[in-house]
Amino acid sequence: MRYYQCNKYPIEFVLSENINKHFDSHNHVGHYVISIVMQGTVAVYLENREVACHRGDVFIIPPYTVHSVRQGKDACLLSVCIGTALIEKTDSETAEGIFRELFKGAAGQGILGKEQEEKLLASVRTVFHIWDKGGKEMDAGIKVLADRIAIHPEHELPIEALAADIFVSKYYLIRKFKRSMGMTPHQFHIQNRIRKAQSLLNAERTISSIAVEMGFYDQSHFDKAFQKIVGISPSEYVDSKRMI
């Protein structure tokens, strides 16, 4: 897996190839993901159904949408992660200009070709259209708790305290949270700790210091959780990062 980050905008390209991986049910809190199958077949479980996506197929994952992805070793998937902060502050015309330049740079690095570029641009327009129509409807109480976890995942947030905040039992909260988010509060908490750790990982900092900062009791625990969610180890992730 290779990660290409834009130093000016909250945009990241993820090129996933030569892996045999099933990414369990998860969601992305602060960004849309546009994925295009570059080679082979990728199975995507989305909105209670599984779809086999083949070469040239594109799928879009909005924030908070629960999904899973199964990718075989012969498949290659390119994903463009777009931070909602960019969508909030940018009109669609300006955004299209930004993405045209980024895709041109990506093509120059051999990440994608002209056909993929046009399909991704069309999907960027779709993302702005979806955003204008409003995001996923969620229970207000669950949304408050999910946002709190996502903003400060490094904090300890006992299930009893979360349940008390919305005046329900912890057992009811777990059921309600899983029904809305596709995972338990604990699983969502770990997922967001790993996502924040990704944003902190670079060559300047040690992996062990970030593991401690994110609330993991040791690096081994952190490595295991990171590998499960991201698909590669923290050190492999640092080595794979490029700028675009």
**Per-residue pLDDT averaged across 163-173, rounded?**
89
pLDDT category of residue 201 using cuts at 50, 70 and 90: confident
pLDDT in tens, 15-66: 998 888 888 888 888 899 999 999 999 999 987 789 999 999 999 999 988 8
Q: In the predicted model, is pLDDT for residue 211 greater than 70?
A: yes
Q: What is the 3-state secondary structure (H, E, C) of the chain?
A: CEEEECCCCCEEEEEEECCCEEEEEECCCCEEEEEEEEECEEEEEECCEEEEEECCCEEEECCCCCEEEEECCCCEEEEEEEEHHHHHHCCHHHHHHHHHHHHHHHHHCCCCCHHHHHHHHHHHHHHHHHHHHCCCCCCHHHHHHHHHHHHCCCCCCCHHHHHHHCCCCHHHHHHHHHHHHCCCHHHHHHHHHHHHHHHHCCCCCCHHHHHHHCCCCCHHHHHHHHHHHHCCCHHHHHHHEEEC
Q: What is the pLDDT of residue 167?
A: 87
Q: What is the pLDDT of residue 78?
A: 95
pLDDT in tens, 101-157: 999 888 888 888 888 999 999 999 999 988 865 555 677 888 888 988 998 999 988
pLDDT category of residue 75 using cuts at 50, 70 and 90: very high
Q: In the predicted model, is pLDDT for residue 190 greater than 90?
A: yes
**Per-residue pLDDT averaged across 57-85, rounded?**
93
Domains belonging to the chain, first-starting first, are 2-133 (2.60.120.10), 140-243 (1.10.10.60)
Q: What is the pLDDT of residue 77?
A: 95
Q: What is the pLDDT of residue 213?
A: 92
pLDDT category of residue 79 using cuts at 50, 70 and 90: very high
Q: What is the pLDDT of residue 134?
A: 58
